[in-house]
Structure 1
Amino acid sequence: MAEETPVITQYLGIKKQHPNDVLFFRLGDFYEMFNEDALEVSRLLNLTLTHKGDNPMCGIPYHSAKGYIARLLRMGKKVAVAEQVGEVAKRGLTERKVVEVVTPGTAVESEYLDGGSNNFLASIFISGGFAGLAYIDVTTGEFRATKFPEYKFAENVSKELGRCSPKEIILPESLKNNKEIQTILETISVASVSWYPDWHFNAEKNYEHLVKQFKVANLNSFSLTKESPEVPPAGFLLDYIEKTTNAPVSHISGISVYQDSQFVIIDDSSRRNLEITFNLRDGTSSYTLLESVSNTKTAMGSRLLRSWLSFPLTNENEINSRQNHVELFVKDRNLLHCVRENLDGILDVERLAGRIAMDRAHAKDLQALKASLKFWLKSQAVLERYDFSMPEKDSAQKIIDLIENSIAEDPATVFTEGRIIKDGWSEELDYWKKVRNDFNGILEEYIESEKEKTGIQNLKIKSTGNLGYFIEVTKGKLDKIPPHFIMRRTLLNAERYTTEKLQELENSLNESGAKILELEHNLFIEVRNELKKYIPYLQQAAKKIAYVDVVCSFAESAILYNWNRPHVLSDSLEFSVKNGRHPVVERHLPAGEFVPNDVSLCGSEPENSASFALITGPNMAGKSTFLRQNALIALLAQTGSFVPADEANIGIVDRIFCRVGASDNLARGESTFLVEMTETARILRSATQNSLVIMDEVGRGTSTEDGLSIAWAVSEYLLNTLKCKTFFATHYHELTRLEHKSLKRLCMAVAENGSDIVFLRKVVEGSSENSYGIHVARLAGIPESVIERAGKILEKIQGDASVIIPETETEEVSKNKVEIFSGSLFSEEELVLDEILSCDIDNMTPMVALQNILRWKKSLAEK
């Protein structure tokens, strides 16, 4: 490399301290990037690449940097911002240093965030045979942690990361070679992963850090000890945030430690298949359960709604408490309208509190906080007579009054623009504003006082570029000039003077701009620091606002879509639904088109006491929709929502499993069938009698014999061993021969009229013996010639299981069809003959027979 300039030398020195970050290096009105950063960022952001000497270089205007940083964060990059500090040097090199590192998990500016979802930073560490996992949203102060046995590492890490969807994960280097964590990181949508030496996760050091942060003597009140596996990752998260943001984090005042038993367990695969918060198509919230219940008015409510759907409750009292509030709003539409109208005016109080705590809030943020609290007090006033445990009003009013009296109505967002502090808040500031804004008036007052003192009535104050301000006295009044007048210049008809007072006033005018900015900055900091005292109240109020918003959202869904309150019982295994509907599918169909269905499992009546529903029926008849809708109804019920059904009795479930759909993971060498079997194995290992299991087409990814055998054995295990509530859909009609007291046969009704077939999408008792696959193929647009040929082949197979159908149906080929019991064909092949003689013809399906024939023919042809 050619000889480096001083600027490049300075850049390289700072870059050495941040080798893994994109360095935004402030040069005047631009942030510049050099060398490898310039090459990468110019490509990612489509920026023009230039050079400074031999160094590649690209830059962006500093005033639009946030937009570029936001794009880099979405790509998983970290950005170190190096600013000019101190006075800009006229000669030599201006000092620069990194003032902030912005990462996907620690970003706090609104431009970098999605208001409707949390911005979690997560960490994991293994110690003492347990894995501890912690995650935090620095913008809101939400801090959670949990633990699980090391031998269940892969299953639980995948589940928990699926719940919180972190934007960034920091991990110990000891896990770098862990195949399980590498596999998980490949499958989840994590934007950024960083590895740190294990000494960062020292238990004792991180325990003390948490104690200091929470201002407590120990962590007993948070159910943590020095040996708790949650402590190392949780403590390191705090340390990472403080060093990265370079800001105080006083709003992080506690941590919520939870266990699996507190919430319905939904593994990551089931969460994806049920499309609770993200769909399988493009990863957005379109066509998801979240979308179908999302009627929230505030960002806080949107985030809490996501949390409730990710953490359904298992406590009957908590569920009923939420349902009571939903029912209140459903029955009192006027109350609902009034509260939602006020909620509509509330901005993100939770994140505003976080910005205040981190010294990031500007004046407009404070005005937004004031307006939000005014709307909240209106809502609180109408809700006071109900059981909502509202926070006290005094703090809210004090915050409103403080901001009302101190902050200008339409303030600037940066100190250099002024217009931040309201007139009347500071006498000193008001004086300097008057100097700047009404200097002529001040001069007028001064000259009038001089006229009165001197008796010279024609005194005038003027100014020029050279002399500045001066008093002009005509020649006829020179005899009255007082001693304190200081000569400046003599003219033909007049003389010009100044005074110490006039010089003071002029100096004040020159200093006023800088003095105003300094005072406004200091006064604003004082106001913001005063508001920090109210952070606990603001966090409490934000939680209550979010709660009210979510129950109102549930009530709105119940009213709009005719949902009803389910009966949720902790001492029952029952799952009974009358006229249940799929909450997502129904919403996207024309009104009245969705066909509702009943179901009853584990009921008290003998005819409804079965725990296992075996569902058969053709493709496209609605089996998968029926399965998923029942799982979603159970999930909604345990979040406290009303459900899309006329009636529902739901015994609280501890886990929901969903094995549907076909997918592979070729990158990991996993076929569709292996993925299916892995998910099935997880269900059979983890489900309990209180679980809800939905399974669709188990065994279809392999041969018919293997698939049927697996499906049959899985069904027996669910019936005899687990005894959990199960919805089991299959195309293996042979399974209908299963006999068990806990098995109920259901099928999808079909109306046939000659060749016309109508899928009624109605679930009825009984079994289906036809999959109507050819009809579905016609609907899909398969060429008619293929459809006709398939029909003929199907007739042959159904009519004569001993026939192999040739590719073309000609008379010549028809004469040469091979029959399996011709005898002479196999007379010399004892092995094949023995297998034929051992076949159970009475229990062999046409498809199994046909596959056997093909295998025998291939074997004989080879010999």
Structure 2
Amino acid sequence: MADEITPLFAQYLGIKQQHPNEVLFFRLGDFYEMFDDDAVEVSRLLNLTLTHRGQNPMCGIPYHAAKIYIARLLRLGKKIAIAEQVGDIPAPGKGLTERKVIEIITPGTALESEYLDGGINNFLASLCVRGKETGFSFIDVTTGEFKATSFETASIQENFPKELGRCSPRELILPESLRSNRIIQDTVALFDSMAVSYYPDWNFSLDSGYERLTEQFGTANLRSFSLTENSVEVMSAGFLLDYVSKTTNVSSPHIKSIQVYKDSEYVVMDDSSRRNLEITGNLRDGSQQFSLLECVNYTRTAMGSRMMRKWLTFALTDVNAIISRQNHVELFVNDRTLLRRIRDQLDGILDVERLAGRIAMDKAHGKDLQALRASLSCWLNIQSILGDSNFALINPEPAAEIIDLIANSIMEDPATSLTDGGIIKSGWSEELDHWRQVHDNFNQVLDEYVEEEKQATGIQNLKIKKSGNMGYFIEVSKGKLDKVPSHFIMRRTLVNADRYTTEKLQELESNLNESDTRILELERDLFLEVRNRLKAFVAYLQQTAREIAYADVTSSFAEAAVRHNWVRPVIEESLVFDVKGGRHPVVEQHIPQGEFVPNDLNLCSEDGCTFALITGPNMAGKSTFLRQNALISLLAQTGSYVPALYARLGIVDRIFCRVGASDNLAKGESTFLVEMTETAHILRSATEKSLVIMDEVGRGTSTEDGLSIAWAVSEYLLERIKCKTLFATHYHELTRMESDRAKKLCMAVDESTSEVVFLRKVISGSSQNSYGIHVARLAGVPEPVIKRAQMILEKIQGEAEDKPVINADEHVFEEEKSAAAPVSFTGGLFSDEELILDEILSLEVDSITPIQALQTIARWKHSLSGR
């Protein structure tokens, strides 16, 4: 009942009512407390003890450890509202301390380093639909990066996941009207680690968005950012700024521009192609391991790591821009000593980009400023080492000015809290030095004053003492009372001595008592003054951060080229694709050195061929060959060297990758439907300048249907679109397709011995066998099944015209079943030892119980002993 609610809980309920979608951290003394549903959910998510306050569930976390718990909740997609005590603590029985929400922390607006991954942008994104147009925007509050694009609403099913895949936002904001949109919901479901929130549609206003953007950028209009009052991007971008302002509760002066981009500026790659090519994460668990990013990311700074991801997801289409990057990579490749010296200096550079953001938003502390100073010193060293080869487009003088300011004002190991002191260097402020002198050398000051009074009074045994009640006092023995001067003020008479004070002693004591407070106040004010002076350099620091990241990424590309023996590709505005000795950058790094078999590919060259039909068995290397050429093309257009002996490549505008088989049961889509949907997208979107790789089109349906579809798709790509195409298939009938613009390739197989050997070499010609039964044997299919499959195959091949009905014979496996030894699977891809080793390496030790561990060990022992 209402009359049973305590004033404290009523205060909590009032605040919670204003923040129903956030977990409310309610400050009570040294703890943040959560109640009711928040408490139940958080205790479950964080494994906290759930208690009760009256009838209300409650759990809490210590104030000093809050960041650890907040970081975990953010990773789970939760939003946190921080309610602090903002008023003076009243006397007992005099009412409640005032509390209010001072900050809302969300996955996409988190500012503290404890909540962030240094090498990955922390993007907040928003999408807004207006009739036939859709706007998409994303922002990283910590760095100031702000981008937007637009596309036709009719293509939202293709473009929305593509843009989400490019920026991988931590949080997505959508209008409430899209909550029931099936396409939007299906897309959002693909990104399960992304937090999603819905807000009323009126928040996404064209007028208010335009006003918010011009106010943020300090401009009369947005024409310099390629935006007008009617641009659909304004709706989503404007709301993002408003959302950031209301959640962080601080201004963001470092966000001074927005980049509006179009598909024509970068290589277009749909989300399915990006996933299949494993650009920034593998298909298995999404981690960087076994991805293209892993092969080239030798960056030494957080800024460089973020830029590396950006270059891989926004590959260029401008030849001159690509060649400019290549020239800088080549500078490091040709001078290994220079490369090593630059990378050594990069090791000393911290996240200048986010440090600039922290300064702009009044979040930086003393250690941040010292980190900035050290980073800029290393950057100046890099510019000096580069000498005449310096490609930075920035004046080093402001960096030197910043270094001097911090070096002269901030202690080398300052405190991070403004309430602790120990931040400002001696010599920076005369007033601060005075008060430190008072505090640190008070005994010396007293000794000097004692000597002064001894000389003036002639009382040589005069002493200054201190007591808890009286403070400091002068003590004069009874025998010297006749020499006590008139300016001594009596405090107390004792048996053997009298105690006095003086105006000067009282002043000295007052100064001592005041010194602690004055030192803290002065240090805080002086630090804020220094930080505010640094705000004038925020734009310069952001530009410097980009230059540092550029040097880091280009030297990282050079490091990859040197380590892996890659070459500089020739980039031109043509359709040619000529690669000699090409290798798959990822596969090559994860097999023993020298085992990877390089292959050539020549399309759109002298013979005018744009289409390569590739046949051959599974496991012979077709998919690797297809993917490696797509990755070579992508790498080349980022400015990187490529894994080949030679490469001459024309610019591609789009890369499509249709490989593998998957279904989407939740959406009621079969493997074949997913395959056909992706194929349809390619046929509708590819241009003459695109690169298309397709593997096993039509395998999800009957042979006749599949062959017909594969043939028609091949002809359409070959004759209508005329793009560079690698088309791998098991349909040998496709080799009868003749065209001057198509060439036939196959995977070489050695059958000269009793064992079939896949050479993984691409040669001209067509394969006449799929070797599926051989692959089944390699996979560990029982030998009786292998023999029976061989019998059926021979029967089918022997009756090509009139395919027989092959009856299942219930006795066909009888002989094998009566054999004494069970069918062994040790002839598969891995031995028992390898399987157990793999299980050990992947075992989550912290997540199993002792009894489970013992049972697992017993199972390994049983397997290895053969019993």
Q: Name 1:593's counterpart in structure 2.
A: 595
1:481-492 equivalences under 5 Å are 481-492=484-495
Residue 808 and residue 769 in structure 1: after superposition, are their counterparts in 2 closer, same or farther (change >3 A)?
Answer: same
Q: 1:452 aligns with which of 449, 452, 455?
A: 455
TM-score by length of 2: 0.92
Q: Deviations over 1:230-272 (max 9, x none)?
A: 1111111111101110111000000001111001100111011
AA partner of residue 247 (structure 2)? T
Amino acid at match of 1:560: R
* Displacement of 1:452: 2.6
Displacement of 1:779 in angstroms is: 1.1
How far off is 1:390 after superposition? 3.0
Give secondary structure in 1 for the equivalent of 2:272: helix
Instruction: Report the equivalent of 1:781.
Output: 780
Q: How does 1:650-729 map to 2 (within 5 A)?
A: 650-729=649-728
Q: Is the 8 A contact 1:462 1:469 kept in 2?
A: yes
Q: Secondary structure of 1:416's match? A: coil
Asked if the contact 1:380/1:390 (under 8 Å) is kept, the reply is no
Does the 8 Å contact 1:408/1:420 carry over to 2?
A: yes
Which whole-Å CA distance do the structure 1 matches of 2:309 and 2:206 have between them? 32
Q: What residue identity is the alignment partner of 2:673?
A: L
CA-to-partner distance for each residue in 1:550-602, whole Å, 9 max, x for gaps? 000000000000000001111x1110100000000001111111000001000
Q: Which moved more, 1:796-805 or 1:477-486?
A: 796-805
Amino acid at match of 1:32: E
Distance 1:783 1:697, change over 3 A: same
Correspondent of 2:509 among 506, 509, 514: 506
**8 Å Cα contact 2:490-2:500 kept in structure 1:** yes
The one-letter amino acid of 1:557's match is A
Q: Distance in 2 between matches of 1:86 and 1:451?
A: 51
* Counterpart in the other structure of 1:583: 585
Give the SS at the match of 1:756: coil
| RMSD, matched Cα | 1.5
Residue 781 of structure 2 aligns with an amino acid whose one-letter code is I
Residue 542 of structure 2 aligns with which residue?
Answer: 539
Partner of 2:736: 737
Quote the Cα distance in structure 1 between the aligned partners of 2:595 and 2:89. 70
1-side partners of 2:658 and 2:774: how far apart?
A: 26
Task: Give matches, 1:310-321, under 5 Å.
Answer: 310-321=313-324
2: CA distance, partners of 1:113 / 1:525: 25
Aligned to 1:111: 114
Q: Give the stretch that moved more between structures: 361-370 or 444-453.
A: 444-453
Distance 2:96 2:440 in 1: 37
Are 1:199 and 2:198 counterparts?
A: no
Q: Distance in 2 between matches of 1:196 and 1:809?
A: 64
Question: Which residue is equivalent to 2:790?
Answer: 791
Please state if 1:51 is matched with 2:55.
no
Give the match for residue 83 of structure 2.
82
Measured after TM superposition, the shift of residue 154 of structure 1 is 1.8
What's the offset of the Cα at 1:442?
1.9
Question: Which one of 146, 154, 157 corresponds to residue 157 of structure 2?
Answer: 154
**2:629 corresponding residue in structure 1:** 630
Is it true that 1:565 corresponds to 2:568 in the alignment?
yes
Q: Could you list the runs of 4 or more consecutive aligned residues of structure 1 that deviate by over 6 angstroms after TM superposition?
A: none
| C-alpha contact (below 8 Å) 1:169/1:190 kept by paired residues | no
Alignment partner of 1:675: what SS? helix
Shift of residue 31, structure 1, vs aligned partner: 0.6
1:819 corresponds to: none
Q: Tell me, yes or no, if structure 1 residue 430 matches structure 2 residue 429.
A: no
The match for 2:532 is 529
CA distance in 2, matches of 1:476, 1:409: 54
Alpha-carbon offset, residue 805 of structure 1: 2.5
3-state SS of the aligned residue for 2:101?
Answer: strand
- The equivalences for 1:186-225 within 5 A come to 186-225=189-228
Using the alignment, how far apart are the partners of 1:672 and 1:610 within structure 2?
Answer: 32
- 1:86 deviates by 3.2
CA pair 390-454 structure 1, distance change in 2 beyond 3 A = farther
Q: Which residue of 1 aligns with 2:312?
A: 309
Deviation at 1:755, TM superposition (A): 3.1
1:133 alignment partner in structure 2:
136
d(CA) in 1 for partners of 2:62, 2:451: 50
Q: C-alpha displacement at 1:23, in angstroms?
A: 0.5
- 1:6 pairs with 2:7: yes
Per-residue displacement from partner, 1:388-414 (whole Å, max 9, x unpaired)?
143111111111111111111111111
Letter of the 1:106 counterpart: T
**Which TM-score applies when normalising by structure 1?**
0.92
Determine if contact 1:139/1:355 at 8 Å carries over to the other structure: yes
- Distance in 1 separating the partners of 2:159 and 2:658: 17
> How many angstroms apart in 1 are the aligned matches of 2:729 and 2:15?
63
User: 1:754 Cα shift?
Assistant: 4.1
1:463 to 466, 476, 487: 466
Counterpart for residue 64 of structure 1:
65
Greater shift after overlay, 756-765 or 772-781?
Answer: 772-781
Equivalent residue letter for 1:512:
S
Asked whether the equivalents of residues 165 and 190 of structure 1 are also in contact (C-alpha less than 8 Å), the reply is no
Rounded to whole Å, the distance in 2 between the matches of 1:755 and 1:473 is 115
Gaps of 5+ in 2: 815-867
- 1:844 equivalent in structure 2: none
Letter of the structure 1 residue corresponding to residue 275 of structure 2? R
Q: C-alpha distance in 2, partners of 1:268/1:452?
A: 89
Amino acid at match of 1:742: R
* 1:715, distance to aligned residue in structure 2 (A): 0.5
Cα pair 1:173 1:197 within 8 Å, conserved: yes
Q: Distance in 2 between matches of 1:563 and 1:429?
A: 59
Q: 2:647: which partner in 1?
A: 648
CA positional deviation for 1:531:
0.5
Residues 128 and 229, structure 1, Cα contact 8 Å, conserved in 2: no
- SS of the aligned residue for 2:389 comes to coil
Aligned residues of 1:346 and 1:375 also touching (Cα < 8 A): yes
Contact 1:146 1:230 in 2 (8 A): yes
Query: What SS does the aligned partner of 1:663 have?
Result: coil
> Which residue does the alignment assign to 1:299?
302
Deviations 1:481-533 (A, max 9, x none): 12221111112221111122222222322232222222211111111111100
CA distance in 2, matches of 1:507, 1:37: 50
Question: How many Å apart are 1:128 and its aligned residue?
Answer: 4.8
Instruction: Choose 457-466 or 162-171, whichever is displaced more.
Output: 457-466
Deviation larger for 236-245 or 478-487: 478-487
Q: Match for residue 763 of structure 1?
A: 762
Matches of 1:204 and 1:803 in 2, distance apart?
A: 73
Give runs of aligned pairs for residues 7-406 of structure 1, distance below 5 A: 7-91=8-92, 92-386=95-389, 388-406=391-409
Distance 1:809 1:10 in 2: 78
- Call closer, same or farther: CA 1:480–1:318 in 2, change over 3 Å: same
CA distance in 2, matches of 1:707, 1:595: 31
Measure the CA separation in 2 of the matches of 1:293 and 1:254.
Answer: 30
Say if 2:499 is the partner of 1:496.
yes
CA distance in 2, matches of 1:707, 1:484: 112
Partner residue of 2:830? none
Query: Aligned partner of 1:44: which letter?
Result: L
Q: What corresponds to 2:865 in structure 1?
A: none
Moved more, 183-192 or 34-43: 183-192
C-alpha separation between the residues in 1 aligned to 2:221 and 2:305? 34
One-letter identity of the residue aligned with 1:633: I
Sequence identity, in percent?
68
Alpha-carbon distance in structure 2 between the residues aligned to 1:300 and 1:183:
33
CA distance in 2, matches of 1:147, 1:35: 43
User: What is the CA distance between 1:385 and its match in structure 2?
Assistant: 1.1
SS in 2 for 1:195: strand
Report SS of the residue matched to 1:385: helix
